[in-house]
């Protein structure tokens, strides 16, 4: 299943640790505080447990959200996005414009 990890964390150290965990789980960074990738539900739960160990500030927030492939294909991207970075990822369908 496709999972998004999106976060707003005040501490540079904590932010770096979350990013590192995401990379260790094979997620790809698509923005400064956003990762996406294929994970099993079990792996997503494990990632959440690991992140929970060092995210303690009341103002910090981490979203780990599933997205089915069907829902993901109906997304819209507004603004610029470097498609070449993620073109090889089989879970990423960048545009419905080809269907028109």
CATH number at residue 64: 3.30.70.240
Structural domain boundaries, residue 45: 2-99
Question: Structural domain tally of the chain?
Answer: 1
Q: What's the rounded mean pLDDT across residues 57-84?
A: 80
User: With contact defined as beta carbons under 8 Å apart, do 19 and 10 qualify?
Assistant: no
Q: What's the rounded mean pLDDT across residues 64-91?
A: 70
Q: Please state, in angstroms and as integers, the Cα–Cα distance from residue 10 to each residue in 6, 14, 57, following that order.
A: 13, 8, 8
Q: What's the rounded mean pLDDT across residues 38-46?
A: 95
Q: What is the pLDDT of residue 82?
A: 64
User: With contact defined as beta carbons under 8 Å apart, do 74 and 96 qualify?
Assistant: yes
Q: What is the pLDDT of residue 95?
A: 36
pTM of the model: 0.76
Percent of the chain with pLDDT over 70: 80
| Beta-bridge partners for 4 | 36, 65
Any residues with CB less than 8 A from the CB of 56 and at least 6 apart, and which? Answer: none
């Amino acid at each position: 299943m496709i999972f998004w990890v999106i976060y707003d964390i005040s501490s540079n150290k904590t932010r770096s640790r979350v990013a590192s965990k995401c990379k260790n789980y094979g997620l790809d960074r698509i923005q400064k505080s956003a990762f996406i990738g294929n994970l099993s539900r079990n792996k997503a739960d494990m990632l959440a447990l690991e992140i929970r160990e060092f995210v303690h500030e009341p103002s910090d927030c981490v979203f780990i959200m599933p997205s089915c492939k069907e829902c993901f294909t109906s997304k819209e991207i507004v603004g610029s996005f470097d498609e070449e970075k993620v073109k090889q990822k089989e879970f990423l369908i960048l545009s419905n414009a080809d269907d028109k």
